[in-house]
Every structure is written in C-alpha cells, then in structure tokens.
Amino acid sequence: MGRVREVVTEARRVVVKVGSSSLTTAGGGLDETRVDALVDVLGGLAAQGREVVLVSSGAIAAGLAPLQLRRRPRDLATQQAAASVGQGLLIGRYAAGFARHGLTVGQVLLTVDDVTRRAHYRNAYRTLRKLLDLGALPIVNENDTVATEEIRFGDNDRLAALVAALVDAELLVLLSDVDALYTGSPSDPASRRIALVKGDGDLGGISISKPGKSGVGTGGMVTKVEAARIATGFGIPVVLTSADRAGAALAGDEVGTLFQAADRRPAARLFWLAHATAPRGRLHLDPGAVTAVVARRKSLLPAGITAVDGSFAAGDPVDLVDAGSGAPVARGLVNYDAVELPALLGRSTPELAAALGPAYEREVVHRDDLVLL
C-alpha cells in the first residue's frame, strides 16, 4: 500500500462509530474536549462535501454523573433511566458542536425491530437518506430508553456495521480507546499492530477478546472485529483505530487497521435479516423442504414443516432448521403466529385454502423474506 489509503480518501459516504470510552470521563459524564475534537474532525469531513453518519455510544455513560450513579448499572430499568437523561445531554452537545461548522444534526434512535420488519426498515432508510439529502448529519444510537433484551442490537459496533449497509456507505470507521488491532494485548510489548486484514485467514491465532479499558462501554475488540466482518461482507471497507487518531485515519493515513471489503454485496434487507435479528422460533424442515429452500431458493410452504418451536408472531424472524441434523439453514420472516402453525403442518396450500379459506393459501416464509445462513 502507498502512504495514503485511497479507499478512505475516495469514500464519499462515511459512517463513523465512536464508543462511550472515547466521549466520557471514567466516572461518567461527557468529556466536552473529546466530544468537540471529534466534532471538528467530522465537521471538516462534511466541509469537503462528503456525507457523514455518526453512530455514537455514550447515552448511558453520560447519564451516570447527573443521576449520581458511580458505575454503569447492570439492571435494564436503571440503564434505561440513565439513557433517558444522557441521550439529551449527548445530542445537545453534538448539536452545539456541529453548529460551529454550520451543520444541523438529526437524532435517529433505533431498535432491532426498526431494521428487520419491512415497513420499519424502509422508514429507517428513508429517514437517514432524507437527512443526508437535506444536508443534515444523522447521529444514530440504539434506543436504550425502550429497548429490551429481546430487541437490542447488543453493541453499537454491530449497529454501526448495519447502518453502514443500510445507507450504502463506502467506508466504516470504528473509533475506540485502542489504536489498532494487535496480535495480542496492546499493552504487551511483544504484540504488534496489524495494519491490514484481507480476510478471516489473517485473524488466525490473534487474541481479540480483551475488553476495553474504561468500564463505561459494552464492546471490546471482539465486537469490533465482528462488526468489521459484517461490514466487509457487505462490500464496505473498515478502519479500526482510536478516537484521537480519527483525523489521521479519515485523511487516509496508514494508522490503525484496515479491513478490506469483499468483492460482492448481498441484497441489503436480507443482509440485515441475517445479521441484525435474533430468531424468535424454529421451523423444522423435512428433506424436500430443505432442498427447495436452499438449493432451489423457493418459499417455505406448510407441507414441508415437521415441527415448530418458540413463541412468535407473524412478521417475526425465525430460523429454518434441517429436521435431520438440527442445523439452521436459513432465516426468514414468518407469515403466521406460532399458535396457528401446528394445525397447518404437512398440508398443501390448496388443501388449506379449501378447508380454511383463501387467507391460508400463502407461504409460511416467502422467498423474498428469507436468507440462507
């Protein structure tokens, strides 16, 4: 590679993710100097005519000090209360900072449902696209004030990778308190920085499970590498570095770690279905149905299902499982409630339509709502 990473400097639409530890003090509360430093880098990027989407953690951490909480709470209700206080402080600071650069910000709070259900997915895309078209800078975060364990992304690294896919970004930059991916612990003198990752083969033998240092965030290096896998699988290159090197990274300097993008991009919504959802149930398929779904890319019909597990409603994601091996072969959005399906199993759609009415002459999972795993 040359001195400048052209894949970075040529990217016109950039998603930048920053972690809690890069925005807040160790005891909670926003570090205004660090927030303003990031704002100045991104404001300069926008001044070049490049579109910027910021995925920002920090709402819960920012709410700790005002609520006189000494550490990040473990229970969901207190996390949600801290997020409710902190999110307003966080977006207010961003709004004031970006205003210095003549930029308007728009807050977009998401849950998993917002990107897996078809109508919600389209709404999320339209909102982000319209903000960019109007010259605003979207600031995205998980909606921690209402998200439950069942509808959480889990960490903002993963959310950032999925947002990058949603807006068809040309670059994802993951900022944290570690300046790159290393062969071991960054504090170990024997560890060396990995400048380039071409694929999973370059990650063999690397220890990536060490969490971040601050204690106010949820992600460690393992979540960042997984986010890089998700984004590069969608054809988006990723730069991983520390927040204090954001300016150098976005200028194309060879700082941090660059993850090369895959050559092909899958369909965006199905990509989200594969990576953003947690299955609410399992449908067990006979050999004929497995062949139809996997090899022939057909819709799943009631006749090919042998059993149903879980509690789910129409529109929920479910895994399609090979009844013989027990292995998931696909994931899709189901068209029936769990309580409806047992009476339909093994029966053809014409038979069901004749017995129960035309509403039952439909697929259990339509091929347009199905992705192979």
Quick: pLDDT tens for 270-324. 787 888 777 899 999 999 999 999 999 999 999 999 999 999 999 889 999 999 9
The pLDDT, as a whole number, for residue 263 is: 83
201 or 108: whose pLDDT is higher?
108
- Mean pLDDT on 137-148: 79
Phi-psi region of 267 (alpha: psi -120 to 50; beta: other; left: phi over 0): beta
Of 335, 337, 328, 338, give the one whose Cα is nearest residue 349.
Answer: 335
Model confidence pTM above 0.85:
no
> Poorest-confidence range of 132-136, 201-205, 338-342?
201-205
pLDDT tops 90 at residue 113 = no
CA atoms within 13 A on the CB side of 177: 22
Rounded distance between C-alpha atoms, residue 238 and residue 173, angstroms = 6
- Share the mean pLDDT of the chain: 87
Residue 269 confidence class, pLDDT cut points 50, 70, 90: confident
Of the listed ranges 15-19, 35-39, 95-99, 165-169, the least confidently predicted one is 165-169
- Which segment of 148-152, 177-181, 326-330 scores lowest on mean pLDDT? 148-152
Q: Does 13 or 221 have the greater pLDDT score?
A: 13
Q: Please state which of the ranges 62-71, 90-99, 133-142 shows the lowest mean pLDDT.
A: 62-71
Rounded distance between C-alpha atoms, residue 135 and residue 372, angstroms: 37
Place of tokens 């929920």: 316
- What pLDDT is stored for residue 13 in this prediction? 97
How many CB atoms neighbour CB 70 within 10 A?
A: 9
222 is in an annotated binding site: yes
Question: Does residue 145 carry a pLDDT above 70?
Answer: no
Q: Note the pLDDT of residue 28.
A: 67
The pLDDT, as a whole number, for residue 188 is 85
Residue 357, pLDDT score: 87
63 marked as part of a ligand binding site? no
Q: What number is the average pLDDT over the span 246-272?
A: 88
Tell whether 1 is in a known binding site. no
Say which residue the tokens 């530890």 belong to.
21
Looking at the domain 6-271, which fold is it? Carbamate kinase (3.40.1160)
Instruction: Report the pLDDT averaged over residues 76-97.
Output: 92
Does 125 or 15 have the greater pLDDT score?
Answer: 15
Taking residues 345-361, report their average pLDDT.
88
More confident residue, 326 or 25: 326
- 335 annotated as belonging to a binding site for a ligand: no
Q: Known binder of ligand: residue 17?
A: yes
From 83-87, 111-115, 275-279, 291-295, the region with the lowest mean pLDDT:
111-115
State the pLDDT at residue 235.
Answer: 93
Whole-number Å distance between alpha carbons of 60 and 66 = 11
Q: Please give the pLDDT value at position 183.
A: 86
Q: Is 221 annotated as a binding residue?
A: yes
On the question of pLDDT at 144 being above 70, the answer is: no
pLDDT tens-digit series, residues 193-222? 999 998 877 776 565 544 444 444 444 788
Higher pLDDT: 137 or 354? It is 137
- What share of the chain in percent tops pLDDT 70? 89
The more confident residue out of 8 and 20 is 8
State which CATH number among 1.10.10.520, 2.30.130.10, 3.40.640.10, 2.60.120.560 fits the domain covering 279-372.
2.30.130.10
40 annotated as belonging to a binding site for a ligand: no
Per-residue pLDDT band at 27 (split at 50, 70, 90): low
Looking at residue 213, what is its pLDDT?
A: 43
Q: Is 130 annotated as a binding residue?
A: no
Q: How far apart are CA 156 and CA 86, in angstroms?
A: 16
Domain ranges of the chain: 6-271, 279-372
- Residue 33 known to bind ligand: no
